[in-house]
């Protein structure tokens, strides 16, 4: 089986990266992790990837005179490793329209809220302040505007009266670790396509996609 070569961009521990790596180790998973790239030398996820024999790249944004040179170096590192599809997994740098256009419809992100609600940071604090009863996470194709783009799937978790931002974050993160690999499997398996800024899912995968909307993926 020909597997889609995927690059993962991280800035820290890369827990979602680790979830993708573990899922991709299955023989029938239609993607392989070709490279893990970080913009920080202290990103612990690089150690995790290297220990599993995955190519790693450090492209420190501080070493470049501006975003164009930084992003050109990232693209060069990804291309050197044969990457054809990119997953953001806790990558804490805003990407330019030029980079996003280079990887259009081949670049996805996971965000810890049910978009379009709670874009940006401090999602769990804001959700608790508003008294919502469901929180969750969203995997979407990346567009130049922050936390905007065609939604592939979402997973919802209950918000408990006893929740703190940390306890809610933990519950959402558990859902993220299940949702992100499931979405990558759908995309790499050719079960999705972007049409008019919406994601169509192949009818053969509809049941699987429906299950992605719960924490029990």
The closest alpha carbon to 99, from 125, 64, 130, 139, belongs to 64
**3 state SS for 144-182:** CCCCCCCEEEEEEEECCCCCCHHHHHHHHHHHHHHHHHH
For tokens 């996609």, what's the residue?
209
SS3 call for 31: strand
Whether 111 sits among the annotated catalytic residues: the reply is: yes
* Sole residue written with tokens 């809220």: 113
Which one from 61, 111, 124, 177 is the annotated catalytic residue? 111
Q: Which residues are catalytic?
A: 111
């Amino acid at each position: 089986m020909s597997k889609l070569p995927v690059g993962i961009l991280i800035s820290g521990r890369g827990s979602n990266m680790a979830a993708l790596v573990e899922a991709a180790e299955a023989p029938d998973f239609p993607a392989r992790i070709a490279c893990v790239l970080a913009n920080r030398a202290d990103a612990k996820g690089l150690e995790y990837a290297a220990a599993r024999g995955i190519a790693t790249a450090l492209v420190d944004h501080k070493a470049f005179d501006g975003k164009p040179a930084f992003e050109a170096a990232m693209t060069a590192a990804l291309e050197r490793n044969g990457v054809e599809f990119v997953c953001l997994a806790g990558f804490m740098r805003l990407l330019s329209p030029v980079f996003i256009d280079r990887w259009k419809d081949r670049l996805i992100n996971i965000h810890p809220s049910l978009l379009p609600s709670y874009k940006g940071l401090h999602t769990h604090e804001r959700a608790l302040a508003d008294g919502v009863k469901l929180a969750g996470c969203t995997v979407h194709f990346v567009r130049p505007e922050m936390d905007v783009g065609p939604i592939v799937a979402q997973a919802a978790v209950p918000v408990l009266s006893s929740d703190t931002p940390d306890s809610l974050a933990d519950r959402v993160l558990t859902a993220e670790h299940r949702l992100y690999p499931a979405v990558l499997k759908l995309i790499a398996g050719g079960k999705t396509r972007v049409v008019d800024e919406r994601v169509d899912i192949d009818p053969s995968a509809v049941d699987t996609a429906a299950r992605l909307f719960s924490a029990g993926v």
